Amino acid sequence: MNKRNWLVLLLVGVIAITSFNSCKKDEDTDNKIDNGPTEWTRATVFSGAPRIGASTFTLNNVAYVVGGWVKPGETISDIYAFDGKGWTKKKDFEGEARHSAVGFAINNKGYYGLGSNGSDALKDFYEFDATTNQWTKIDDFPGQARYGAVAFSIGNKAYVGLGSTRNETLLSDFYEFDGTTKKWTALTGSRAPQFTDKKAYAFSFVINGKAYVGGGTGNVPEEFWSFDGTEWKQLKDIKSDTQDIRRSRASAFAIDNFGYVVSGRSTSGVVGGVWKYNPVDDTWTDKHQSLEVAREQGVGFALDKTGYITTGSNSSGGYLYDNWKFVPVR
C-alpha cells in the first residue's frame, strides 16, 4: 500500500475515533444542563404498595398520599405521610376505597373526596386532622359524582371541578368549598369558567394566590386558564407551532413562583419531560431534565422548594412505588 493510501486510512481512523468519543460524550451528558448537577435523584421509596391514581394534599410541609389502585380492580384506603426524609403510615381513610379522587388542604386540615370505587363515581368528602390522625365526613360534593377531577386551594377556599362521570361524560363545571363554613357553592355567572373543552385528568398548580389549569383528556384540549378566586382568564394555548404541552394524567407542582408539569400522557404516549411555566410573561420552557422513569397518574407535590413525584404507571402499565426528588437548576 502506498503512502497516500496509508494517510487516507489514518485520517478515516481519526475521524471515526473523534465521532465515537463525541457520541459517547453526548450519551454521558444527556439530560444534563450545561454539565451541571443532576436535577432528578431518587428519594426515600414510597412505603405503601405500588399504585396509580392516588391523591395528595400537603399540611405544614408534610405531604400525604391517599388511596388509589393497587392492581386492576382493587382500590385501597391507606394514607402515608412524607416529610422529605421518610414515610409514616397514618390511620386509614374511613370512606369507601377509591382511585382518581382529589385532595386539597385548607386551614391546617386535609380534604379528600370524589373518585371511583372501580364501578361507580363518588361524591362524598372527608376532612383529615393530622394532629389527631382522625377522619371526619363533611357535606357531599354538590355536583355530579365524578373521578379525574382537579382541585386546588386559594386562601381559605378550595375549588374542585372538571372530571368524568361513571358513563364517561366529561364535565366543565367548578365548585367552591369554604374552609370556615365547610359549605359548597357552585361557581356561576361571572365566576363560572368559560372553557372551550370539557375534560378530565387535567393538571393544576397555584402561584401567589392564583391557580393555573390546563391539559386533560377530552378533545385534546389546548386551552390554558388562570383563576384568582374571582375571575377566570384565558392564557396562551399550550400548543403552538414551536411547543406542545398537552398532557393528561400528569403531575404538577409549583416552586419559587414557577409551575412545573411533569411526565404524564401526551399525544405520543407516556412521556417523562418537564415543562416550566413562568406566569410573569405567560411562557413555557422545557430546559429541565426529564424524569428518568416516565409515568402517568403519579402523585406530585413540593416541599421546601423541592418537587417530588411518586407512584403511578409506567409506559408498560406497570404500577410504581419509586419516589423522585426534583431540584431545578436555574
Which of 125, 257, 122, 123 lies closest to 178 in space, CA to CA?
125
| Distance of alpha carbon 279 from alpha carbon 322, whole angstroms | 31
Instruction: Write out pLDDT tens, residues 108-121.
Output: 999 999 999 999 99
pLDDT at 21 over 50: no
| Distance of alpha carbon 273 from alpha carbon 262, whole angstroms | 6
pLDDT at 330 over 60: yes
Q: Categorize the per-residue pLDDT at 245 as very low, low, confident or very high, splitting at 50, 70 and 90.
A: very high
What's the whole-model pTM score?
0.89
The pLDDT score that the predictor gives to residue 37 is: 77
Identify the H or E element spanning 124. none
- The rounded mean pLDDT for the chain is 91
| Distance of alpha carbon 139 from alpha carbon 183, whole angstroms | 7
Q: Categorize the per-residue pLDDT at 2 as very low, low, confident or very high, splitting at 50, 70 and 90.
A: very low
pLDDT at 7 over 90: no
| Distance of alpha carbon 259 from alpha carbon 328, whole angstroms | 11
pLDDT at 14 over 60: no
| Distance of alpha carbon 131 from alpha carbon 108, whole angstroms | 9
Mean pLDDT, rounded, for 272-283: 98
| Cell numbers describing residue 109 | 386540615
Instruction: Write out pLDDT tens, residues 30-39.
Output: 344 545 679 9
Instruction: Write out pLDDT tens, residues 136-150.
Output: 999 999 999 999 999
| Distance of alpha carbon 195 from alpha carbon 48, whole angstroms | 37
Identify the H or E element spanning 153. strand 150-154
Match 386551614 to its residue by C-alpha cell: 107
The pLDDT score that the predictor gives to residue 282 is: 98
Domains of the chain by residue range: 53-326
Degrees (nearest 5) of the Cα angle 103, 215, 56? 15
Instruction: Write out pLDDT tens, residues 62-103.
Output: 999 999 999 998 999 999 999 999 999 999 999 999 999 999
Start-to-end Cα distance in the chain: 56
Which of 56, 67, 68, 139 lies closest to 105 in space, CA to CA?
56
Q: Could you tell me if 56 and 66 are in contact, meaning their C-beta atoms sit under 8 angstroms apart?
A: yes
Mean pLDDT, rounded, for 128-137: 98
* pLDDT above 90: percentage of residues in the chain: 88
Identify the H or E element spanning 4. helix 3-29
Superfamily of domain 53-326 in CATH is: Kelch-type beta propeller (2.120.10.80)
CA 11 to chain centre: 52
pLDDT at 319 over 90: yes
Residues contacting residue 233 through CB under 8 Å, at least 6 positions apart: 225, 226, 227
Mean pLDDT, rounded, for 28-55: 80
Which of 25-34, 148-157, 284-293, 302-311 is predicted least confidently? Answer: 25-34
Q: Categorize the per-residue pLDDT at 25 as very low, low, confident or very high, splitting at 50, 70 and 90.
A: very low
